[in-house]
Amino acid sequence: MSRHQMPGGSHDWRRTMPPPLPFSLTVSPFLTRIALLVLAAGVTLCLQLLLPDQLRSLEERVGSFGWTLSPDLRTEERFTIVAIDEKSIAELGPWPWPRAALAELSQALQAAHVTLQIYDIVLPEAKPGDEQLLAALKGANAVLGQVPVLQGDESSQTGVMTHSLRALRCNPPIPSTRNFLASHAGFDSIPKGHITSVVDADGAVRTVPPLICVDDRPYPSLVISALLRSVHPSGAKIAELTGDGGGPLASVEPGKGLFAPHYNIRLSEFPGITIPVDDHGLMRISYSRVPSAYQVVSAVDVVRGRVEADMLDGTWVLVGATAFGLGDVVPTPYGGAAPVIEIQARLLGSLLDSNVPYTPRFAPGLLAAVAAVFALVLLGLSSVRGRIAAFGLPLAACVMPLLALGLHVGLVRTNIWLGWLSPALYALVAGFAISLLEQARVRAEKMRVFENLNSYLPSGVAGEIAFNLPSGLIEASRKDLTLLCADLRNFSAFEERRPPDESAALLHCFFIRASDVIERFGGSVHEFKGDAVLAVAYSKR
């Protein structure tokens, strides 16, 4: 026995450790790990509820690496952006331009044999020159913009909304509003499409509604109206967009399948085009093309005839502001800011290529499945002894978030935006939590071994046995030893004449005092035997 465990007293090794450590040894290790993994899921959910905007922004920005790491570099030759840029404002005057200047631009585009003119422009007020501009737009196969207002609390109705889709009911998921900014009634005959987008908390535009209901009438987006307009050029069958008889031009159908979107919007005039939308009726913008892939010409160069003859021949054009001072710019994954007209170009290209990214309807379940796989991996690693658990758990906590991101990036290449942050965050929380648990468990077990050994061996020897890894090598060293052997004189005779409890108390006092003196001078108790103590002090040669 030693001074840590003496007759007449007892020692509980749990008292020398922090409270969580002995508890971790009294509960089944498997149940403890399961409870911790479930707790990590709760912490992950709480973080997502407490920081929704910040985490969504992080997920979107990092998740867009699926596009920016290997973007599509091919030049878009089907349409061209005609930019109202700084150069045009410098030569033609400040924006907004007179209607005569817009009419001149439209006529110049028509003279360049442009087949479709798509204007990201709204004309809410009647001004001089409207008749000239109206005549130019009618002869140019043009589409104007209008803006149903989805965000904001102010009530506003300016102009007249026109060209809704026929025979389509305003049911969810189509978003609805009563507020709008549209061109005045003088331009009722020009087909229109809305240019409304959804601005996220970080100022970026990642989704747009293909359809918006205003006063129970569904209105298509600018690019959808442009597609429908291309089917009926020169103003033919404009009634097709106004709801005058016939079947629906668009239909909304629920998605079917594990990786299907929430809903699909189909256009009867374009059987090959399917627009996937989420449960809020929003279409995700694809940033797969690098910004330089879009051809851009200055509006003033078109008006002045300084554009190559074949550059615009037979193409579509998107007319919109790009001048930074006009404020019509949004952040993009490629850094800096891009003009909103580029967003329209991306939407048009995605529809023409049937290349619209979307989030599957069962995305939460799929992400939960990924997190469950991570939990099983952590559970398996924590059940393994030795270095695999010691190094594998922290390594897994770092690698699994990268695997979740890699899975997301790979799916983005197939137009599936699954998301990655939920399983990645869970892997971090659960991985490091279970690593700490296992480290605590190992420490508690070693402390228990040390305390048990220290009851019979010197502290140094007990520490070497408890805290060193087992080895097949012979570990030997030469040392100078000083041995002390001491006992109580005439203790046998004393023990025969006194009660047992007095004998035990005397032994207890002797052992404690002897241990204090021995350890004070650098020795250690090797053995207590009867009334004798054997101590040793050594030093390396």
How confident is the model over 157-215, as pLDDT tens digits? Answer: 899 999 998 778 888 899 999 999 999 999 999 999 999 999 898 888 999 999 999 99
Residues of the chain above pLDDT 70, percent: 86
pLDDT for 502 equals 85
Residue 319, number of CB atoms within 10 A of its CB: 26
Q: Which amino acid is at 371?
A: A
Q: Which strand (E) or helix (H) includes residue 369?
A: helix 363-382
Q: Which amino acid is at 307?
A: V
| Backbone phi, psi, residue 257, to 5° | 115, 160
pLDDT for 293 equals 94
Q: Which strand (E) or helix (H) includes residue 208?
A: strand 205-208
Report pLDDT digits (tens) over 203-221: 889 999 999 999 999 999 9
Task: Give the three-class secondary structure for 322.
Answer: coil
Residues whose CB is less than 8 angstroms from the CB of residue 278 and which lie 6 or more positions away in sequence, other chains included: 173, 207, 261, 262, 263, 284, 358, 359
pLDDT for 536 equals 84
CA distance 450 to 456: 10
pLDDT for 237 equals 44
Let me know: does 218 contact 364? Beta carbons within 8 Å.
no
Q: Helices marked H in 387-499 — which ranges?
A: 387-412, 421-454, 459-467, 491-497
Eight-state DSSP code of residue 97: P
pLDDT for 98 equals 94
Closest CA to 142 of 82, 77, 230, 243: 230
Residues whose CB is less than 8 angstroms from the CB of residue 484 and which lie 6 or more positions away in sequence, other chains included: 518, 523, 533, 534, 535, 536, 537
| 3-state DSSP percent of the chain in helix, strand and coil, to 5 | 45, 20, 35
pLDDT for 3 equals 42
Torsion of CA 300, 221, 334, 302, to 10 degrees: -10
CA distance 84 to 90: 10
Q: Which amino acid is at 247?
A: G
What is the DSSP track for 111-150? HTT-SEEEE-----S--TTHHHHHHHHHTTTEEEEEEE--
CB-count burial class (<10 Å; 0-12, 13-18, 19+) for 522: exposed
Closest CA to 102 of 112, 113, 88, 116: 88
pLDDT for 196 equals 93
pLDDT for 188 equals 92
Q: Helices marked H in 19-98 — which ranges?
A: 20-26, 29-50, 52-63, 65-68, 86-92
Q: Which amino acid is at 470?
A: P
Collect the ranges in the chain with pLDDT lower than 50.
1-15, 17, 234-245
What is the residue whose two structure tokens read 């002390």?
484
Q: Which amino acid is at 376?
A: L
pLDDT for 183 equals 95
Entry field: residues in the chain: 541
Task: Give the three-class secondary structure for 216.
Answer: coil
Count the helices and strands in the chain (H runs, E runs). Answer: 17, 22
